[in-house]
Structure 1
Amino acid sequence: MSLIKRDFPMLNNLTDFFDDDWLQTRFANDWTPAINVIENENNFEVEMAAPGMRKEDFHVTLENGILTISGTTEIENEENTRRYTRREFTTRSFTRSFTLPKNIDMDEMKAKYDDGILRLTIAKTEKETPDVKEVLID
Structure 2
Amino acid sequence: MALVKFNNSRNLAPVYTPFNDLFDTFFGEGIIGDKALIKVPAVNIAETDDKYEIDLAVPGLKKEDIKISIEENVLSVSAESKEEIKEENKKVSRREFNYSSFKRTFTLPEAANANSIEAKYVDGVLKIEVAKKEDAKIQAREINIV
Q: Which residue of 2 aligns with 1:117?
A: 125
CA distance in 2, matches of 1:51, 1:12: 34
Query: Which string of whole-angstrom CA distances, capped at 9 and with x for unpartnered residues, describes residues 90-130 of structure 1?
Result: 211111111111222233210011111000000000479xx
For CA contacts below 8 A with separation 6 or more, give which structure has more relative contact order.
1
Report the secondary structure of 1:59's partner residue: strand
CA distance in 1, matches of 2:123, 2:110: 31
- The gaps in structure 1 that reach 5 residues or longer are 129-138
Q: Which residue of 2 aligns with 1:23?
A: 31
Which protein is bigger by CA-based radius of gyration?
A: 2
1:53 and 2:61 equivalent? yes
Q: Which residue of 1 aligns with 2:5?
A: none
Contact 2:41 2:56 in 1 (8 A): yes
Contact 1:29 1:92 in 2 (8 A): no
- The gaps in structure 2 that reach 5 residues or longer are 1-13, 137-146
Contact 2:81 2:101 in 1 (8 A): yes
Q: Which residue of 2 aligns with 1:106?
A: 114
Q: 1:77 to 1:114 in 2, by over 3 A?
A: same
Structure 1 position 83, deviation (Å):
7.7
Report the secondary structure of 1:16's partner residue: helix
Query: Which string of whole-angstrom CA distances, capped at 9 and with x for unpartnered residues, describes residues 37-77 of structure 1?
Result: 11111000000000000111111111111111111112445
Q: Which residue of 2 aligns with 1:72?
A: 80
CA distance in 1, matches of 2:114, 2:41: 24
Normalized against structure 2, the TM-score is what?
Answer: 0.69
**Number of residue equivalences:** 122
1:8 and 2:23 equivalent? no
Question: How high is the sequence identity, in percent, across the aligned residues?
Answer: 34
